[in-house]
Amino acid sequence: MNLQDIKGSYDLIVSLGSACNPTLQLKRLNLRNFTSSPLDWSYSPFLVDVNRLLKNKFDGFMELENMRLIDDSGKYAYFNDKPLKLPHQIIYVPTASYVIQDIHYNIFSAHDFPIISNKHWTTTYPKFKRTLNYKINRFMKRLINSKSILFIRWGANYSETVELRLILSQMTSANFKIIIINPTEGLEAPSELEWGIDKVCTINAPIDPNSISTWDYVLNGVTLNH
């Protein structure tokens, strides 16, 4: 499958990581039709872990007993902040966020747990888990109710992708397609790579996951049904 086969309109377009970059680009291009899915703002370095999560239908995801504090330096921002509004101007003062790892699935949260003075990171966990469960339930319903779905993943190998296609075929009856984008040293522009996997388009791309030109090239001709 090549990019020409990907072009078209979809009921649902979903980021499967590995980080926030696909979601940010979908938002920029107005290709998101609900606010957030379970993996949008997390970091999942290996698709094999995402595959296991999907196969288990998110069972046990981000349960408190499996979560560990990884980084309290405050270099990441809490994403639920709202701008501070003052007369005639809006000032955005981001709150710093902890980095927390789900050691069961090897998936990281960098934007969900605000650093609050004299408070343990688990203080906001109940609210986080309620929101996450809502996102999971909504996501699972959308998989069932959508007729056409595009999944996008930054970083994956061949065997992981074969497994992903199989798992998704068991989760949805929709006509789905998958874009795999693999960062490749030395590339100046994206290029297509044929893996010969049904429903899968593979792209080698420059290593910058925030490259506007890369995402415009990959998602050109992709639209969202409204």
> pLDDT averaged over consecutive 10-residue blocks of the chain (226 residues)?
96 96 94 86 97 98 98 91 62 85 98 96 97 96 97 98 98 98 96 96 97 97 94
**Token pair belonging to 11:** 């009921």
Cross-strand bridge partners of residue 91: 84
- Do 110 and 43 form a contact (C-beta atoms < 8 A)? yes
Q: What distance in Å separates the CA atoms of residue 105 and residue 46, rounded to the nearest whole number?
A: 10
Q: What pLDDT, on a 0 to 100 scale, did the predictor assign at position 93?
A: 65
Indicate the pTM of the whole model: 0.93
Nearest by Cα to 110 from 83, 71, 139, 58: 71
DSSP code of residue 207: S
> In 3-state terms, what secondary structure has residue 81?
coil
- Structural domain of 67: 3-224
Split into its structural domains, the chain has a count of 1
